[in-house]
Amino acid sequence: MSEFLKFKCDLDNFIQELQTILESNTNRVEELLQQTSKTYSTFVKPLQMMEEKLEHFFTPLSHLNAVNNSEETQEVYTQSLPIITEYSTKLSQNIEIYKAYKKIQINEKESLNYEQKRVLSLNIEHFELSGAHLDADVKKRLEEINIRKSELTNNFSQNLLNATNDYKYIITDKEDVDGLPSSEVENAKFEEEGVTKYKFTLQMPSYIAYMTYGKNEKIREVLYKAYVSRAPENAKIIEELLALKDEMSKLLGFKNYVEYSLSSKMAKNEDEVLDFLQNLLNNSKTQAKKELGELQKSAPKDLRSFDTAFYSELLKKAQYNIDEEEYRPYFEQKNVVNGMFDFLNKLFGMKFVKVEEKLWHKKAFSYDVYVGDTLRARIYLDLEARESKRGGAWMHNYQTHCLNEKGEEQLASAFIVCNFPASSDTNPSLLRHDDVVTLFHEMGHAIHHLLSTVNENEVSGVNGVEWDAVEFPSQFLENFAYEPQVLKMFASHYKTNETISDTMIDKLVRSKNFLSAMGMLRQLEFSIFDLKVHNGVYNEDEVQNILNNIREETALIKTPQYNKFQNGFAHIFAGGYAAGYYSYKWAEVLSADVFYSVIDEGIFESKTAKSYLNVILNGGGAKSMQELFKELMSRDPDTTKLLRLNGIE
């Protein structure tokens, strides 16, 4: 069994080492192609493991650039992108590899197992989507497009991070922070020339705190405006990205980028996805209007976009007598993490043992993961917000479970990164319940990767899973963060150790679907915009018009003209969700269906939960999720469970 990798990244020599590895890989590809008789084990497997090892080398740099961003990481990462993109593009367009795969697929049809057959079919599809079968001029242009796209997406991310970090709003009047949680006031407070002041930023914990509790609406508007108009230079990046994606899709024989994107997903075509989204919109709109009516009653004048979080909090308190701040002492970060581990142990037999190793930051930790007494994986957690860290939360795979060329087992490892309130020597990190849900969500992704028993790395863990199914395991797990018996496993007051009361849990559960139909409309707005903006080439004004037209149907409160949400929509312009943002809702249908089966059977007595471990988590991407879902549930997904989950009638 191979060892877990030691996390290291030598920034000084990274580019040189990368070039050496890529040169060696290129020579190795040529050697493999020289073989007269190519088989799965002598050709496909060595190629797979070569790419896996390249991931092992490159991942620490992309990880550092996201969690400890500095001028040095930016520079090395920016320099490395065109180098690795050029290499990957050439490899994905190598017609000889493509031909060899097709030949092996025919020659070894009877002897290959389903995992190996899936590797071949996905690779052949990938080659065709990369233009391997096209002429040299087209391939050269596709390579140029890929390099430029990777530069643009990196610039988009960096612009967003810089704009978020560069902004601060200083409050000098103590009255303007009245009503904010004491922990947020403490985090914002600083002394300057003997005067106490309060700094608010566009970092998520700080921004959300003022938007939710800040009584001064002028300050709320200033912060909101700064947030929704961040990174205006990204508008031109969007224009160029759309043009490049459209050109690439047409070169590959697709009508537009949406058709290209959906060709490798569960959903069949744009109409099917738009019908699915429209159906959710039709089912949610009446309830959303009702919710807005309730919200409007709690406000003294017509609601504006920068008012909703503030008045929602007031209404939530009034309707459910629920104060988010009252809950935070029960969600001390370490207790939540340990409680989540206990829950996973009870549900799936997983154990987490802390590893003492030096990582990229003193607030990062690693754990070895056992199922029963068997070591299965390693997980890294980096959970607290800091300036050098990209916003949001994510899981990223590092090593993938597989057998290498010698038949030795390689175990999996993965990172979970969040931006929770920072702890200090005097203050612990106290989470909002939303943060708890986020942690469970990312852990759902992580165990999907870590518990795979698949032996081919390209279809093991999250690899090979259709993009519109990849959120299924994360959403499935996050739903348990509202279950009373799960909450009682970790929600205890960090000072008194008192377990959260049934009354508090009841209020939390009842408030779960507070304004859920309005939330549904917002997500549908993002999903529809993503599809419509990716079905052609549009300039800055046209992009805005597309969004405005969608908002006519989805935004119940008029959005101000200065709101340029698209310039911060990193999921689709700097992440992997282009023409695929609908995947969140698509996967939620699967997750809600399985979740309610587990709940209805009794969480810890559930046969479906045990099958879920064996079929979905162990199964990785070695079969289509459609096939795995049918194997698990013996039927097609039931879409009504999604509405039940969201409390929508």
Query: 208-258 pLDDT, tens per residue?
Result: 999 999 999 999 999 999 999 999 999 999 999 999 999 999 999 999 999
pLDDT over threshold 80, residue 15: yes
Q: Which amino acid is at 313?
A: E
Residues 6 or more apart whose CB falls under 8 angstroms from that of 460 comprise 400, 401, 402, 412, 452, 454, 620, 621, 622
Q: Which amino acid is at 518?
A: M
Band of the pLDDT at 79, cuts 50, 70, 90?
very high
Q: Are residues 219 and 359 in the same domain?
A: no
CATH code: domain of residue 478: 1.10.1370.40
Q: Are residues 353 and 473 in the same domain?
A: yes
pLDDT over threshold 80, residue 2: no
| CA 59-60-66 angle, 5° bins | 90
pLDDT over threshold 90, residue 505: yes
- The tens digit of pLDDT for each residue in 80-120 reads 999 999 999 899 989 999 999 999 999 999 999 999 999 99
* Bridge partners (DSSP) listed for residue 367: 354, 379
pLDDT over threshold 90, residue 407: yes
Q: What is the mean pLDDT of residues 435-443?
A: 98
Residue 615 within any structural domain of the chain = yes
Q: What is the mean pLDDT of residues 539-559?
A: 97
Residue 324 within any structural domain of the chain = no
Residues 270 and 263: their CA atoms lie apart, in Å, by 10
pTM for this entry: 0.84
- The tens digit of pLDDT for each residue in 373-388 reads 999 999 999 999 999 9
Q: Please indicate whether residue 458 is annotated as part of the active site.
A: no
Q: Residue 215, SS3?
A: coil
**Chain mean pLDDT for the chain:** 96
pLDDT over threshold 80, residue 330: yes
Task: Give how many domains the chain has, as a whole number.
Answer: 3
Band of the pLDDT at 1, cuts 50, 70, 90?
low
Q: Are residues 176 and 85 in the same domain?
A: no
Q: What is the mean pLDDT of residues 362-368?
A: 97
Band of the pLDDT at 268, cuts 50, 70, 90?
confident
Residues 45 and 43: their CA atoms lie apart, in Å, by 6
Which residue in the list 442, 456, 478, 525 is annotated as catalytic?
442
Band of the pLDDT at 619, cuts 50, 70, 90?
very high
Contact call for residues 104 and 120 (beta carbons, < 8 A): yes
Q: What is the mean pLDDT of residues 317-343?
A: 93
pLDDT at 567: 98
Contact call for residues 547 and 529 (beta carbons, < 8 A): yes
Q: Are residues 588 and 467 in the same domain?
A: yes
pLDDT at 639: 82
pLDDT over threshold 90, residue 321: no
Residues 594 and 392: their CA atoms lie apart, in Å, by 27
Q: Are residues 82 and 185 in the same domain?
A: no
> 483: how many CB neighbours lie within 10 A of its CB?
17
Band of the pLDDT at 322, cuts 50, 70, 90?
confident
- Pull the structure tokens for residue 288: 């959303």
Q: What is the mean pLDDT of residues 302-323?
A: 92
Q: Are residues 401 and 448 in the same domain?
A: yes
Residue 449 within any structural domain of the chain = yes
Residue 533 within any structural domain of the chain = no
Which one of 210, 228, 246 terminates a domain?
Answer: 228
Band of the pLDDT at 184, cuts 50, 70, 90?
very high
Q: Are residues 357 and 413 in the same domain?
A: yes
Tell me the CA distances in angstroms from 163 to 4, 155, 167, one per residue in order.
Answer: 37, 12, 7
pLDDT at 183: 86
pLDDT at 413: 98
Q: Are residues 129 and 185 in the same domain?
A: no
Residue 638 within any structural domain of the chain = yes
Q: Are residues 117 and 74 in the same domain?
A: yes
CATH code: domain of residue 43: 1.20.1050.40
Residues 115 and 461: their CA atoms lie apart, in Å, by 12
Residue 187 within any structural domain of the chain = yes
DSSP annotation of 458 reads: G
Q: Are residues 103 and 193 in the same domain?
A: no
Least confident of 181-190, 345-354, 450-459: 181-190
Residue 159 within any structural domain of the chain = no
Q: What is the mean pLDDT of residues 592-604?
A: 97
Q: Are residues 222 and 357 in the same domain?
A: no
Cβ-in-10-Å burial (0-12, 13-18, 19+) of 443 comes to buried
Q: Are residues 196 and 120 in the same domain?
A: no
- The tens digit of pLDDT for each residue in 43-70 reads 999 999 999 999 999 999 999 999 999 9
Which one of 211, 228, 245 terminates a domain?
Answer: 228
pLDDT at 64: 97
Residue 409 within any structural domain of the chain = yes
For 383-411, give one letter per residue: b (16+ CB within 10 A) or e.
Answer: bbbeeebbbebebbbbbbbbbbeeeeebb
Which one of 175, 209, 228 terminates a domain?
Answer: 228
Q: How many helices (H) and strands (E) does the chain have?
A: 26, 10
Long-range contacts: 505-513, Cβ < 8 Å, 24+?
507/320, 507/321, 507/322, 508/322, 508/327, 508/433, 508/482, 509/482, 509/484, 510/320, 511/316, 511/319, 511/320, 511/322, 512/482, 512/647, 513/646, 513/647, 513/648
What is the span of the domain harbouring residue 635?
329-515+584-645
